[in-house]
């Protein structure tokens, strides 16, 4: 008697891997783009303004920024074989972490050195992606919280400069109308967060920017004359600013930035994995980090910026509860298309400094608040963690409050330690190793763990 055949039961795909109808993909993908757009384009606007670049050149940076962010977003969500991409709904965008080092390197050596150091950092990132995924325990909240706090604090100076100007001897410095415009944008962002609900809250910064541009146009601060001359389709040629250059100090500084990016991205990957209920392996994290490394190579080639996972889009996944990674792939496609429209870059580049500065001030201060929130998880009793944070923040803030502090040091030293971010990373990482990881550290009656246990009220 023949045995009955076993019927194969189809295995249902995890929600992360489920494809949605095209219409939903497009709408939900556009939503992700709207949430991250203001933060992403703020980076080229701030760098361009700080380095005194023309509006045409800033427009090129904006388009390149959107293009590379789109490519890396597609790589992270869709994946490339078994080598790149974490395959989660993660949106990549230009990181604020590289702002200060880019401005310092650009001021000292020029833009070819900025992009040469990015290329080197990208290769470095690819080489260490797998090893880094194994040593993530060396970057506890003590380290990451301190670094993120200083990133935000150090960038507030750039935001203030966009509003008031950077030359105190200029008669127009601190113009009251510019200050009032920035204050109005900040107030609008605050009111939206206080009284609006749902998705509208996530667009608060973008709404503030649009409002600011409208008001600024009536004040005579907006000039869109260059938009008409820009093309509808195209991308600046690779190495637009000339052949890349590779000063050692610039490379070291940008490689340290890449380490910070890896810490940021790892935290966001773990957060998204928890939201979508998917367990991440060490190889998954390594592939996600490798994609960030590729962003350095693409940025150095196409005149763009280093990318990291955008935290605001992590929050959007939590709000919408849409877990499909293909939604983010659609967002990446939209970003690539936006990056190929030069007219759009010219429009964004024409946004006046006080408008960008008002929105940026809120974003930078939010970064600081996120760092402080991370530090709540640190244990302070019976150890030297308070001292570690104090020394790291003190050393890191010196270049911000006293820009000429290292003026008599060699240029190479100034590039590395003239950046508050690289200084903070080096100091807090080494002090954490010294006090909390080396076996010969002083014994204490209290536990020496860096992190507050999960049952603590401070967690």
CA distance 253 to 422: 6
Percent of the chain with pLDDT over 70: 83
Residue 410 falls inside a structural domain: yes
364, 156 contact by CB (below 8 A): yes
In the 8-state DSSP scheme, what is residue 84?
Answer: B
Six-digit token string for 321:
């509860």
Of 50 and 142, the structure prediction assigns the larger pLDDT to: 142
Residue 455 falls inside a structural domain: no
Residue 445 falls inside a structural domain: no
Residue 443 falls inside a structural domain: no
Residue 230 falls inside a structural domain: no
CA distance 37 to 312: 10
Domain count of the fold of the chain: 1
Concatenate the DSSP letters of all residues of 416-446 into one string: HHTSHHHHHHHHHHHHHHHHHTSTTSPP-SS
Give the three-class secondary structure for 1: coil
Phi, psi angle pair for 80, to nearest 5° = -130, 95
**Total residues belonging to the chain:** 459
Residue 27 falls inside a structural domain: yes
Residue 118 has what pLDDT? Answer: 94
Residue 441 falls inside a structural domain: no
Residue 7 falls inside a structural domain: no
For 364-394, write each residue's pLDDT tens digit. 777 788 788 888 888 888 888 999 999 999 9
Of 18 and 176, the structure prediction assigns the larger pLDDT to: 176
Residue 453 has what pLDDT? Answer: 47
Residue 226: pLDDT band with limits 50, 70, 90 = low
Residue 295 has what pLDDT? Answer: 92
User: Looking at the predicted structure, is the pLDDT value of residue 11 above 60?
Assistant: no
The boundaries of the domain holding residue 74 are: 15-223+238-436
Could you give the count of Cα atoms lying within 13 Å of 114 in the half-sphere of its Cβ? 28
For 187-210, write each residue's pLDDT tens digit. 988 888 888 776 677 667 778 878
Residue 73: pLDDT band with limits 50, 70, 90 = very high
CA distance 304 to 282: 29
For 269-291, write each residue's pLDDT tens digit. 877 787 777 887 888 889 999 99
Name the residue among 220, 260, 225 with its Cα closest to residue 425.
260
Residue 410 has what pLDDT? Answer: 76
């Amino acid at each position: 008697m023949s045995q009955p055949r076993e019927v194969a039961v189809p295995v249902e795909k995890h929600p992360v891997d489920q494809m949605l109808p095209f219409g939903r993909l497009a709408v939900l993908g556009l939503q992700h783009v709207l949430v991250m757009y203001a933060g992403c384009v703020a980076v080229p606007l701030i760098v361009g303004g700080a380095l005194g670049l023309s509006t045409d050149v800033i427009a090129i940076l904006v388009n390149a920024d959107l293009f590379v962010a789109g490519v890396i977003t597609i790589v992270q969500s869709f994946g490339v074989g078994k080598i790149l991409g974490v395959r989660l709904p993660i949106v990549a965008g230009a990181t604020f972490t590289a702002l200060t080092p880019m401005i310092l390197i650009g001021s000292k050596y020029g833009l070819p050195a900025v992009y040469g150091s990015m290329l080197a950092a990208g290769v470095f990132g690819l080489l260490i992606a797998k090893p880094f995924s194994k040593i993530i325990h060396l970057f506890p909240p003590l380290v990451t919280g301190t670094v993120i706090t200083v990133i935000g604090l150090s960038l507030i100076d750039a935001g203030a400069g966009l509003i008031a100007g950077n030359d105190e001897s200029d008669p127009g410095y601190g113009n009251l109308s510019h200050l009032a415009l920035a204050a109005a944008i900040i107030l609008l962002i605050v009111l939206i967060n206080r009284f609006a609900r749902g998705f509208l809250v996530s667009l608060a910064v973008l709404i503030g920017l649009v409002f600011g541009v409208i008001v600024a146009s009536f004040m005579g601060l907006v000039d869109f004359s260059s938009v008409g001359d820009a093309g509808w389709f195209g991308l600046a040629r690779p190495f637009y600013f000339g052949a890349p250059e590779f000063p050692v100090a610039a490379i070291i500084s940008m490689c340290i930035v890449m380490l910070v990016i890896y810490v940021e991205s790892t935290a966001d990957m773990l957060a998204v994995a928890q939201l979508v209920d998917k367990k991440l392996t060490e190889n998954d994290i390594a592939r996600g980090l490798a994609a960030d490394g590729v962003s350095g190579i693409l940025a150095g080639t196409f005149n763009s910026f280093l990318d990291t996972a955008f935290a605001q889009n992590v929050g959007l996944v939590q709000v919408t509860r849409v877990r499909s990674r293909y939604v983010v792939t659609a967002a990446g496609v939209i970003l690539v298309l936006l990056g190929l429209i030069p007219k759009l870059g010219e429009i964004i580049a024409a946004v006046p400094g006080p408008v960008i500065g008002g929105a940026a001030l809120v974003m930078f201060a939010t970064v600081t608040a996120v760092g402080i929130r991370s530090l709540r998880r640190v244990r302070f009793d019976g150890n030297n963690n308070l001292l570690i944070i104090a020394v790291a923040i003190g050393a890191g803030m010196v270049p911000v409050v006293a820009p000429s502090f290292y003026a008599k040091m060699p240029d190479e030293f100034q590039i590395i330690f003239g950046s508050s971010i690289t200084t903070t990373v080096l100091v807090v990482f080494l002090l954490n190793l010294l006090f909390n990881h080396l076996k010969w550290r002083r014994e204490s009656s209290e536990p020496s763990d860096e992190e507050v246990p999960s049952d603590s009220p401070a967690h």
